[in-house]
Amino acid sequence: MPGYSMEKPVTYKIITLGCPVNQAESAAMEGALQEAGFQPAEETADIYIINSCAVTKVAARKSRKEARQARRENPHALVILVGCYGQVEHEEIKELVPEVDVIIGTTGRSRLPQIIDEYLKTGTRQREVRVQKHFRVEQYEEMGLSRYSRQRPVVKIQEGCDEFCTYCVVVLARGTPRSRDPELVEKEVAQLVAAGHREIILAGTHLGIYGRDLGDTSLAQLLKRLSNLEYPFRIRLSSLEPMGVTDELLEVMAESPRICPHLYLPLQSGCNRTLKRMGRRYTIEEFSAIVEKARALMPEVSVISDIIVGFPGETEEDHRESMEAVRRLRLSGLHVFPYSPRPKTPAARYPNQVRPDIKKRRVEEMKALGEELAFQFYQEQMGKELQVLVEKVKQQDGVARGEGFSENYTLVRFLMDRREAAKGSFVPVKAEKAYRWGVEGSIKRVGQ
């Protein structure tokens, strides 16, 4: 390692909280650290990197907890907190989390190996904030190629948002939209599939507007480009804001057998009054039209959504309206969140904040609806042949059991012969029984 020597290699741990974008960034940091000569720790580490999240109070609290846990594991370690929480609330972190030595934020992480090297050479433990302010015009920060052990790696292709939803800190945390060079995206995807990965997840802060700042490309055009790569692999899109879903994008998804028929579209509320207060630039009718178009083009598509419950000013009537809209949409699953006031956002100052007990009850009701809708979707898979990426293989009582996700994001479990499939391979599975968690089936063999 340049400028530093020890009797044993310097080890690190990366703790990742939050969204797929964070997962991709952690994988890129992993690659950069290993390239610089650092090694992943098997147990206690010399360096702890907490890739933080600030989307909710709970996420911020978890970030602080991980920093304290790192210091307990090794009182002499270098503890670095990076990411959204560091960007938005670095003053709070300085005050509440003395265990953190360095705060970096969401820019400058490409220099992480050099920053660590500086600390190791000097031996200093002086606390330092290296958070850089976001500007109106920024370049995409290339963090390098990723190192992944997971079966479905995430490739980050876009950064930033300009929606300014009234409850959200993403604009503050990530800055304005900027896109990754399509050649570098293609290079990373090609590298991952050549290494044996068979499903690639594309992620971004506002994924649907990829390429808008580049002027000569779009997410639809990028998907066409990636679909032309050789190798047996498929592409899955991470969360897409409805405002970024175009007819062209849906048509490209439907035309390419390589792109998974799966949409993760955050609705946030099924009530137009609430959507307006949230600053969401669509109505429930416009959202429904996107879903209907997707289903017309891809009958097997799954549509999963985020819902925020208990937004300031949400009445019982608003909540019931949201529930009914979600039911009519026949969504394939829900991720339900109680509204969490975030610092520096307009909604945190709104009157008529919903009482915690009311919010809790509404969350439980929406979650129950989500479970009901997911079970209905799994029942609709019965008798169908699903292409499953094997992610887990377990041996129990002399029987091998496989598990993985289908192209339309159904969790599938099945009996198997170890010679039939290995982790990271595709297998055709006939869905035979639906559960609350997904479906169970059997491998479809030649001649069946």
CA distances, 255 to each of 199, 223, 225, 251, 386 (Å): 18, 11, 13, 6, 18
**For the chain, domain boundaries:** 11-129, 139-244, 261-380, 385-443
pLDDT range class, residue 423, cuts 50, 70, 90? confident
Question: Is pLDDT of 4 > 70?
Answer: no
* Higher-confidence position of 400 and 273: 273
Distances (CA, A) of 305 to 161, 239, 249, 267: 19, 9, 18, 6
User: Which range (116-130, 173-187, 329-343) has the least confidence?
Assistant: 116-130
Sorted by sequence, the CB contacts under 8 Å of residue 5 that are 6+ apart come out as none
Structure tokens belonging to residue 102? 């360095």
pLDDT bracket for residue 120 (50, 70, 90): confident
Q: Over 60: is that where the pLDDT of 348 sits?
A: yes
Q: Would the pLDDT of 448 be above 60? A: no
Q: What percent of the chain has pLDDT over 70?
A: 96
Cα distances (angstroms) measured from residue 162 to each of 111, 179, 345: 26, 13, 14
pLDDT at 6 over 60: no
In the predicted structure, residue 216 carries a pLDDT above the cut 50:
yes
Q: Quote the pTM value.
A: 0.93
Q: How many CA atoms lie within 13 A of 152 on its CB side?
A: 22
Q: What is the pLDDT of residues 393-421, one digit of tens each?
A: 888 777 888 999 999 999 999 988 766 66
Fold match between domain 139-244 and domain 261-380? yes
Cβ atoms of 43 and 8 closer than 8 Å: no
Q: Are 85 and 60 in contact (CB under 8 A)?
A: yes
H or E element, residue 122: helix 112-122
Give the amino acid at 427.
V
CATH topology assigned to domain 139-244: Transcription Regulator spoIIAA (3.30.750)
Q: What is the mean pLDDT of residues 33-48?
A: 94
How far is the C-alpha of 77 from the C-alpha of 48, rounded, in Å? 7
- Integer Cα distance of 346 and 364 in angstroms: 26
pLDDT digits (tens, 9 = 90+) for 159-201: 999 999 999 999 999 999 999 999 999 999 999 999 999 999 9
pLDDT higher than threshold 90 for residue 124: no
Q: How confident is the model at residue 7 (pLDDT cuts 50, 70, 90)?
A: low
- pLDDT at residue 397, rounded to an integer: 77
DSSP label of 164? -
The H or E element that residue 305 is part of is strand 302-309
Q: Residue 138 pLDDT more than 90? A: no
Distances (CA, A) of 205 to 69, 244, 333, 376, 385: 28, 11, 21, 30, 33
For 291-329, write each residue's pLDDT tens digit. Answer: 999 999 999 999 999 999 999 999 999 999 999 999 999
The yes-or-no verdict on residue 5 having pLDDT over 50 is: no
Higher pLDDT, 361 or 130: 361
261-380 carries CATH number 3.30.750.200: yes
Beta bridge partners of 392: 403
Which own/partner contact pairs does 280-287 have at CB distance under 8 Å and 24+ positions apart? 280/163, 280/165, 281/163, 281/243, 282/242, 282/243, 284/325, 286/242, 287/242, 287/329
Burial of 300 (0-12, 13-18, 19+ CB in 10 A): middle
**Residue 447, pLDDT above cutoff 70:** no
Cβ within 8 Å of residue 136, ≥6 positions away: 176
Asked whether the predicted pLDDT for residue 371 surpasses 70, the reply is yes
59 backbone φψ class: left, alpha, beta (φ>0; ψ -120 to 50):
alpha
Exposed e or buried b per residue across 309-348, where buried means at least 16 C-beta atoms within 10 angstroms of its C-beta: bbbbebeeebbebbbebbeebebbbbebbbbbebeebebb
Cα angle: 181, vertex 182, 186; to 5 degrees: 125
What pLDDT, on a 0 to 100 scale, did the predictor assign at position 145?
Answer: 73
CATH classification code of 385-443: 2.40.50
Residue 198 corresponds to which amino acid?
R
Give the contacts of 6 (CB within 8 A, at least 6 positions apart): none
Q: Which fold has domain 11-129?
A: Rossmann fold (3.40.50)
